[in-house]
Amino acid sequence: MTPSPWRGDAVSLVDAFRRGELSPREALDESLQAIESSSLNAISYIDADAARASADRADVTLPFGGVPIGVKELEDVRGWPQTEASLVFAHRIADDDSLQVGRLRAAGAVVAVQTTASEFGGINCTSTKLHGATHNPWQIGRTPGGSSGGSAAAVAGGLVPIATGGDGGGSIRIPAGFTGLLGLKGTFGRIPRGPKALHSPLTVSLGCMARSVRDTARWFDVCNGFSPYDTLSLPRVDGWEAGLGTIDLTGRRVAVVYDLGNAIVSERQVAVLDELSRHLIAAAGLTQVDVVIAFPTGGLEWAMSNAIGLVGELGDLYPDCAPQLTREIQLVLRLAQGLNASSAGATEIFRSEMNFTMARVFEETDFIFCATNPDVAFRAEGPMSTTVDGVDLVEKYGLNRAIGNNGALTIPANLTGVPAISIPAGTVDGLPVGLQVIGRHHDEQSLLELALIAERDRPWPLTAPLPA
């Protein structure tokens, strides 16, 4: 028999458990069977025995009671591989659960499998020397994005109902856009990191790859809140799921700038995004305003700020370990070797300018509507795309801008710490595209409210279509 794992959202699975229609053990076994027969290459480790024991004792009265979840390869689970998706750390094992995983366990989740990621979370494509390429369930041969690509592929591909994600430059929103999922990057610090959190580079936010708005809201109900292990984490906020549908957005201002001022965005995609944008503006009673947005261009500065932690983690292993690294990480490390006090200072000045620009924009508007990705998903094996609508960006704009275009739409929200969400908007050539909504600090609930309107009025497939 063909395995038939749960293809609804996680909340509906908990409801089914509570009604006695399905047991957590049955749901887990169906997921494990589907994973064994999957060609997506989305799973890097399976903890079947421990997961079955957890499912057998699951308390389905808890928020995620009995739900099998995937955990991104860059997030720690005690006793699981702690590889950072790199050959360099292929044999390392985690000593502790991440704070987020610990809170999910306490909420009843069955921590079942580890999902693939890009090496050290460095690029928006999940293809590594350690695991090979992960595929997009909407079309084998295309990437699900990165760095949370395995989580996205597993959730959109029907393998697990929900999975963890992390977003340091778009790594939740990019794969959500590529795979037709909902992806919320919260305000920086909303979900604590750690228990050994690095404060620099102040860009990474934790969250989930989810099929529905209520799944995301419940996840934040469970996982948000201060921890002394992450001194930059925010105080707890309650009522995420209960508050859905209660926020009046009438009169709020929105700037619709699909290219966010300096990205090169597919015109075919813009046509799809525009339909959803117009609907949300009308349905929510928003007021569209004209705002000039011109963020400084700085993909290299973002990469260099993230390289500081990477250099420290590799320590004395580098440069001897260089042949084990993907070419993108090798390049970043070579550039990082040339960093000095002046270049490090320039990176911080760039961050300051980015934050100044974002703050000025939000003096004139409450939301920004833009694309999540420049174009549809590219080749699963990479490299990162340098074309849009078939146009060679290297020839037209030069190599740096062509490569930097991959994160030009998402990195600004990371560098400034504001929340942003990718909402499924439709498809282009059978591949999903996402509308990104950027909001004010600490106002994630308004982003979820807009997503709820889209979900109610223009419902999206919760998983990729089953193959014929």
Domain extent listing, the chain: 10-299+339-457
Contacts of 268 (CB under 8 A, 6+ apart): 389, 428, 429
Decide: residue 4, CB within 10 A, 0-12 exposed, 13-18 middle, 19+ buried.
exposed
Q: Give the position of tokens 């004010």.
A: 440
d(CA 435, CA 437): 7
pLDDT tens, residue order, the chain (468 aa): 456 899 999 999 999 999 999 999 999 999 999 999 999 999 999 999 999 999 999 999 999 999 999 999 999 999 999 999 999 999 999 999 999 999 999 999 999 999 999 999 999 999 999 999 999 999 999 999 999 999 999 999 999 999 999 999 999 999 999 999 999 999 999 999 999 988 877 899 999 999 999 999 999 999 999 999 999 999 999 999 999 999 999 999 999 999 999 999 999 999 999 999 999 999 999 999 999 998 887 666 777 777 777 888 899 999 999 999 999 999 888 887 776 656 667 778 888 999 999 999 999 999 999 999 999 999 999 999 999 999 999 999 999 899 999 999 999 999 999 999 999 999 999 999 999 999 999 999 999 999 999 999 999 999 999 875
For 224-296, where are the alpha helices, taking DSSP H only?
A: 267-284
- The alpha carbon of 434 is separated from its chain's Cα centroid by a whole number of angstroms, namely 12
Tell if the pTM clears 0.85, that is, is over it. yes
Q: For strands 68-72 and 162-167, give the pairing.
A: parallel
d(CA 141, CA 41): 11
> Measuring CA to CA, which residue among 295, 300, 303, 301 is closest to residue 349?
301
Contact 177, 422 (CB under 8 A): yes
Domain boundaries 10-299+339-457, corresponding CATH code = 3.90.1300.10
d(CA 185, CA 198): 18
d(CA 127, CA 24): 32
